[in-house]
Structure 1
Amino acid sequence: MHGNDGACGKAIVPSTLGTCVRTLDTCQGFLSLREDFRKARAFFASVDGHERGVAMFCEHCGSKFEDGGKFCTSCGAPRPVAQPPADMTTPIPVPNTAQPSFDTAAPPAAEPHITADIPPVYVPQDFVVQDPPQSAEVARKKPVWLFVTLAVLALALCAFVGWRMWSDSHAESQAVAEFSKETVEVDEKTDGGDSSDKALSATEKDKDTKKEEPQPCTAVPELITKQVRRDGSNLVATVQWNASSCENAPLKSDGVQIVLTDSSNDTIAAGIFDFSKRDVSYKDGKLTTELAFKPTQYWRAVTELEPSRLDTSVKFDQEGFGRAADVNGAFGARDIDPSDAERYAHLALNWQLDHDKSTASDFYSIYTTQLSSKRYDMDVEGKIWKYADIYEHFLSLKSKHPQALIVWGSDYPTYTKHGHDASYYVILSGESFASETDATNWCGANGYTANDCLAVDLK
């Protein structure tokens, strides 16, 4: 009798019938125990594989299934879904590990008989029941779930700390607001609730904290023209302002009309000035300014003005026309109403004709040069000439030639002797020449052409 397991794997030497029977019973017990261990191993493997829904070891031969394999590579049995064996509910018998003795030298005294009791079974020393191996997938799952749980707990802790900080801050803000409200209510009750005694607004407080700026003086001053001079074709007047009530107040006014008149009450100069853009202030009620008038804003030659005989007046909040242009530090003026300027120019032309008549009589016997000849509404040189244009032209020429004068053409034979209409304002240079040739040469020397300058006498 031969076998592959334990004692049954050795050749049995016949001895006595009792010895053989005991040996046979021992082999049968070992085989039964091995079957029980195989079932236990399959059960534990099924418990481990139950989490993944498959068996890990073959229930027929006990071999481990390969990952993903559907059949046992040892016996070919199909791989079932892991279920706990039904017969494992009964306890597994614990074998007797005592090793039997096989004595062939001396037979027993009496013939043994076969009994139903299971004799002790031989168990190999290297046969050890081990815990079923844990799957790699389950081993990986445990750390992942551990990290996820820790992360969730950390987030929850941060959220709780943030909520507590916000809650504390909000509670503190509400407490401050309640305290401020109560303070205001107490203050209102203390002063009797009178709205006129309430605290100043933020804007009013800012105004109080700032240095209060001095208010402009609105008193009407007395103006005195101290000096007049010519700056190119412009008239510059030095005017003193006297207003004791203004003390050291600034002059911050726009639309200030200043008018200069002569002893006959004829308007000599007029313009609208703006004093709001410069730092101009009274000092002990006195102020001095330089005022510039361009040729369209004054109607008398500067050389013919006497400051002591001029009267200077001022009006506030007046409307100006055109643009102002300062002249070498002097305040420039805007134009007055054009209709008033035209009227003042006509009066100035008439005054100038009367004033220059005596001087013009000198040119009956000697030559001078004619620079211009214009009449009202004359369309020449690109425009229709008005009184203001004619007088402005006269003042411009006089600024170049201080001896210039203006005459009425119809009053002198040289313009009427050929029967032509001589109703013109004629401007003469006022320069004296012994001959016509000398006068003509003067025209060329001063840059005039034959159309602009010619030699004349008035006889």
Structure 2
Amino acid sequence: MPCQSCGAPMGEQDKFCMRCGAARQEPARSAAADSSTVCPACGAAIDDSMRFCMHCGAELSPLPAAVASAAPVEPEPQRKRGMTKGAVAAIVAVTVAVIAIAAFGVWWFVLRDDASAQSGAVGTSLSGESSESSDSNDAGDATDSGDDDARGHASAGDKSRTAVCTVPDASLSDVRLSGTSLIASVDFESESCEDSSYSAAGVQVTIQDDGNVVAAAVYDFGDAPLEFDDGTAQADLAFTTVQYWRPYDQIDVSDASVELTEDATASGASAATVEGALGGASIADTDIERYAQLAMSWQLDHDTTAANTFYSTFTTQLSSKQYGMQVEGKTWKYRDIYEQFLQRRAKHPNALFIWSGDYPTYQENGTTDFYVILSGEGFGSAADATAWCPANGYSTDDCIAVDLQ
């Protein structure tokens, strides 16, 4: 490149000009490409008017028009930081006004109401007379009542909705017969139930008399809730012939007890309602069989005295069955034998249940191991007894005249 002082050519390694001795100076490069200010062949300085390099004679290409760069934007003078005294005063004034308005609102909605309530209470106390309340006071009273409820002072209606009605105590007040079903009127009592409802499902109701279970079934009180009034309720419950094990008129109501057991397991579906009495589902088959066997033993003892009257007179035999006997399309178990007795007794209120081996007439013909159902009707002759059978819908296979002598 040429010396910047005298224009003499300098080698790339020269530090000083060989002609004038000036120190080598690198030409200042602009932000644009170097090709716009020096010869691309020898690096000598050129300008826009040159068509050929003055140093090496190389042809120069026309230089592109310079791209104008944006002029630097003069920064705006920074505003003076801080606020004027006037602005500060305005803000303070607004803040004070807001606080004043808020304080007035609190007084209006809270303190003023309290003052009015206290004033009203004092006025009532002094005058001893009640005065009509304005609509606004009525609204306030309603609000106060709601506040009382929120504090736990619930009304009677609220108590009925929120009371936890636990399993109630029960007692037997009456029993009757409807068809072949036993209807038990049961009284319930529970302090926890108050004025609410008891609607538990799977509740076994068990009735006992002189230590024996005489009725049991599982009820769903969700179908017919017990409606309590001041802690007491009443309901009629129906028991089918496989759910009770004593004739209704032989249950001592005054001595019977009733027990309720929740979460009981039912066997099958609930029976239908009988004359408004809620039907229940049966208990386990094994329990039915056991209670039936116990009932048969009790019935044999109970009916002995009445059966002895037929030593000297005639009656009619309606059935004779053995345990395990296969007749009438089934194998007879205790539950079947006793159920048939209850069905016959529902039709013939004087029916008796005896063991054939206890009476001479059966001992003589060798049939001493049968459970026998007698109609309990007395006749002066065997002919009269025999005539009674078809008159009451029985064939000669099911009904015969008999005396126990």
Partner residue of 2:181 out of 224, 228, 234? 234
Q: TM-score, normalised by structure 2?
A: 0.59
Deviations 1:95-124 (A, max 9, x none): xxxxxxxxxxxxxxxxxxxxxxxxxxxxxx
Q: How far did 1:362 drift? A: 0.8
Partner of 1:335 in structure 2?
282
Deviations 1:269-302 (A, max 9, x none): 0000001123532111111010101110001111
Partner of 2:65 in structure 1?
none
What aligned pairs does 1:112-261 form with structure 2 within 5 A after superposition? Answer: 214=161, 217-261=164-208
Deviations 1:383-429 (A, max 9, x none): 000101110000000000000001101111111213x2420000000
Alpha-carbon distance in 2 for matches of 1:405, 1:342: 20
Paired residues, number: 247
Q: TM-score, normalised by structure 1?
A: 0.52
Matched, 1:376 2:323: yes
Q: How far did 1:217 drift? A: 3.8
Alpha-carbon distance in 1 for matches of 2:258, 2:356: 35
Deviations 1:147-168 (A, max 9, x none): xxxxxxxxxxxxxxxxxxxxxx
Alpha-carbon distance in 2 for matches of 1:373, 1:226: 35
For structure 1, the residue ranges without an aligned partner over 5 or more in a row are 1-210
Q: Which has the higher helix share?
A: 1
Partner of 2:313 in structure 1?
366
Alpha-carbon distance in 2 for matches of 1:219, 1:270: 20
Structure 1 or 2, whichever has the larger Rg, is: 1
Q: In the alignment, is the contact (CA less than 8 A) between 1:215 and 1:250 conserved in 2? A: no
Partner of 2:265 in structure 1?
319
Q: In the alignment, is the contact (CA less than 8 A) between 1:260 and 1:269 conserved in 2? A: yes
Partner residue of 1:410 out of 353, 357, 371? 357
Task: Give the partner amino acid of 2:243.
Answer: Q
Task: Give the partner amino acid of 1:428.
Answer: L
Partner of 1:351 in structure 2?
298
For structure 2, the residue ranges without an aligned partner over 5 or more in a row are 1-156
Alpha-carbon distance in 2 for matches of 1:273, 1:393: 24
Q: In the alignment, is the contact (CA less than 8 A) between 1:217 and 1:250 conserved in 2? A: no
Partner of 1:449 in structure 2?
395
Partner of 2:46 in structure 1?
none
Matched, 1:285 2:285: no
Task: Give the partner amino acid of 1:344.
Answer: Y
Partner of 2:113 in structure 1?
none
Q: In the alignment, is the contact (CA less than 8 A) between 2:163 and 2:192 conserved in 1? A: no
Task: Give the partner amino acid of 2:345.
Answer: K
Q: In the alignment, is the contact (CA less than 8 A) between 1:226 and 1:238 conserved in 2? A: yes
Q: In the alignment, is the contact (CA less than 8 A) between 2:165 and 2:192 conserved in 1? A: no
Partner residue of 1:295 out of 241, 253, 257? 241
Deviations 1:161-206 (A, max 9, x none): xxxxxxxxxxxxxxxxxxxxxxxxxxxxxxxxxxxxxxxxxxxxxx
Matched, 1:429 2:375: yes
Secondary structure of 1:275 counterpart: coil
Task: Give the partner amino acid of 2:398.
Answer: D
Alpha-carbon distance in 2 for matches of 1:315, 1:343: 19
Alpha-carbon distance in 2 for matches of 1:432, 1:315: 44
Please report the RMSD computed on the Cα atoms of aligned residues, expressed in angstroms.
1.6
Partner of 2:209 in structure 1?
262
Alpha-carbon distance in 2 for matches of 1:217, 1:285: 12
Matched, 1:398 2:345: yes
Matched, 1:439 2:385: yes
